[in-house]
């Protein structure tokens, strides 16, 4: 019996994850699909927000789904919101709609919201965005790395930087953005980097020597592309959490929004879509799905949880907020410090930043980027 469980623990699947972690991962995913509404039944919808007049927040991918709802609610609570998007025209159309509704409601001054171009399939675009933002010399209180893609069932495709697209959009480009914006985040004191991950990271596996899944060791599928990118994002942020000194005042949080009806779920297999439309009870609306982002970005409890983790030397993972706005554990694989460190190093190589980038930026040094 004992030797059986030992072998299950150590026996690896073809994609590199142990069978036991893979099974545990799917239990987590199934629980989220079936019970998220019950688990989150204590939360109000929309999540009540305090006045956020003092905050500047960048929200990536805010032209649809969870990101658009997050941006609108932050702006309505008084924050200065920057929609970092690839489709500027769509962003300005949304801003106009929101302003019109807001002024008709007679609730106060116009929303303080603007849009800036950011195409995550281009690392160059990330550098341009960061340079433009940092040039303002303004504090940045919250960066929400929300934009993401899941080309369900799609073939393996690459960005013009040569990276598998899920890996670039969901992990590499947001990692570059977080690092390049550190000077503005440090300027804010008490700022937060919020990473919209997914429960799918529990079934992910990253090979740091084959982040783009091109070696032939693993057969690419869109699920492998998506889950590896979301796990790489969590692992990278676990190392960033360890590297950022408490004195910078920056908190790093990963989260799961739950299973949410958005453009991101339009490629789900037909049977899952039918299941959802038959029982819409199970799936969150974008308003429900953005609660863990809003909570992570604004709630004071988050800083308390973060501080506790940060001051415990044994912590290897940063704060992970579940779809019900409670701290939870990230996946077993995400606790693998050796792999996470390799993912950190490989990521920096792929986004052309030096290994001591965090230390240099904290000291106020210029960091050369040779993309
Ligand atoms: N929906 C869910 O059940 C679920 C579950 C777990 C995690 N998530 C995560 O939640 C986040 C938001 O997803 P969503 O469900 O709200 O999906 P969505 O409605 O498809 O929104 C995704 C956003 O990301 C933007 N985006 C995609 N590729 C981009 C690129 N190359 N450069 C810049 N922006 C890009 C999209 O812009 P365009 O409008 O221009 O395409 C859109 O604004 C993602 O990180 C996703 O992985 C979602």
Tokens 């792999």 found at: 339
Measured from the CA of 60, which atom of ligand 1 is nearest? 34
pLDDT higher than threshold 70 for residue 97: yes
DSSP-assigned states of every residue in 96-124: HHHHHHHHHHT-SSPP-EEEEE--TT-HH
Distance between Cα 149 and ligand 1 center (Å): 5
Distance between Cα 259 and ligand 1 center (Å): 13
Calculated CA dihedral for residues 211, 212, 218, 219, nearest 10 degrees = 160
Over residues 139-168, the mean pLDDT reads 97
- Residue 24 burial by Cβ neighbours in a 10 Å radius (0-12, 13-18, 19+): middle
Active-site positions read: 226
Give residue 1's pLDDT: 37
21 vs 44, residue with greater confidence:
44
C-beta separation of 217 from 210 below 8 A: yes
CA gap 75, 72 in Å, rounded: 5
Give the chain's end-to-end CA distance (angstroms, integer). Answer: 53
Question: What residues contact 267, with CB distance under 8 A and at least 6 apart?
Answer: 150, 151, 152, 153, 154
The phi and psi torsions of 288 (rounded to 5 degrees) equal: -75, -35
Measured from the CA of 265, which atom of ligand 1 is nearest? 1
CA gap 100, 75 in Å, rounded: 13
pLDDT higher than threshold 90 for residue 72: yes
CA gap 317, 307 in Å, rounded: 13
Ligand 1 near 248 CB (within 6 A): no
Ligand 1 pocket test target in 31, 40, 67, 291 with most atoms within 8 Å of CB: 67
Q: Which residue's C-alpha comes closest to atom 17 of ligand 1?
A: 264
Burial 329-351 (b: 16+ CB within 10 A, else e): ebbbbbebeebbebbbebbbebb
The three-state secondary structure class of 291 is helix
| Maximum C-alpha span of the chain | 68
Ligand 1 pocket test target in 264, 269, 323, 331 with most atoms within 8 Å of CB: 264
Q: Which residue's C-alpha comes closest to atom 47 of ligand 1?
A: 148
Over residues 42-52, the mean pLDDT reads 98
pLDDT bracket for residue 18 (50, 70, 90): confident
pLDDT higher than threshold 90 for residue 4: no
Ligand 1 near 65 CB (within 6 A): yes
Distance between Cα 245 and ligand 1 center (Å): 31
Q: Which residue's C-alpha comes closest to atom 8 of ligand 1?
A: 198
Distance between Cα 10 and ligand 1 center (Å): 35
Would you say domain 13-362 falls under CATH 3.40.50.720?
A: yes
Q: Which residues pair with 56 in a beta bridge?
A: 80
Question: What residues contact 128, with CB distance under 8 A and at least 6 apart?
Answer: 117
Measured from the CA of 169, which atom of ligand 1 is nearest? 31
Token pair of 188 as six digits: 């804010």
Burial 170-181 (b: 16+ CB within 10 A, else e): bbbbbbbbbbbb
Over residues 233-254, the mean pLDDT reads 98
């Amino acid at each position: 019996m004992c030797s059986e469980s030992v072998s299950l623990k150590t026996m690896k699947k073809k994609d590199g994850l142990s069978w036991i972690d893979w099974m545990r991962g799917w239990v987590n995913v199934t629980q989220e699909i079936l019970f998220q509404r019950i688990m989150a039944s204590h939360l109000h919808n929309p999540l009540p927000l305090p006045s956020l007049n003092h905050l500047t927040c960048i929200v990536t991918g805010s032209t649809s789904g969870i990101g658009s709802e997050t941006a609108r609610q932050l702006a309505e609570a008084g924050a200065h919101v920057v929609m970092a998007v690839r489709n500027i025209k769509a962003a300005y159309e949304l801003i106009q709609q929101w302003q019109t509704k807001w002024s008709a409601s007679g609730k106060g001054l116009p929303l303080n919201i603007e849009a800036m171009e950011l195409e995550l399939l281009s690392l160059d675009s990330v550098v341009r965005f960061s340079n433009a933002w940092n040039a303002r010399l303004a504090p940045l209180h919250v960066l929400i790395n929300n934009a993401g893609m899941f080309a369900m069932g799609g073939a393996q495709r690459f960005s013009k930087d040569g990276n598998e697209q899920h890996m670039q959009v969901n992990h590499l480009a947001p990692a570059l953005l977080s690092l390049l914006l550190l000077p503005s985040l440090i300027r804010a004191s008490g700022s937060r980097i919020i990473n919209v991950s997914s429960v799918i990271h529990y079934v992910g596996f990253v090979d740091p020597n084959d982040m783009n899944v091109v070696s032939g060791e693993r057969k690419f599928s869109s699920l492998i592309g998506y889950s590896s990118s979301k796990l790489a994002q969590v692992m990278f942020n676990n190392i960033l959490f360890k590297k950022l000194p408490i004195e910078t005042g920056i908190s790093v949080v990963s989260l799961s929004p739950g299973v949410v009806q958005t453009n991101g779920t339009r490629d789900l297999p037909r049977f899952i879509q039918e299941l959802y439309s038959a029982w819409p009870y199970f799936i969150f609306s974008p308003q429900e799905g953005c609660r863990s982002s809003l909570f992570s970005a604004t709630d004071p409890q988050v800083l308390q949880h973060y501080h506790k983790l940060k001051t415990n030397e044994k912590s290897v993972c940063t704060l992970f907020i579940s779809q019900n706005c409670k701290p939870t554990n990230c996946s077993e694989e995400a606790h693998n410090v050796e792999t996470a460190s390799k993912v950190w190093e490989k990521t920096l190589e792929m986004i052309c930043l030096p290994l001591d980038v965090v230390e240099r930026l904290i000291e106020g040094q210029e960091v050369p980027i040779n993309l």
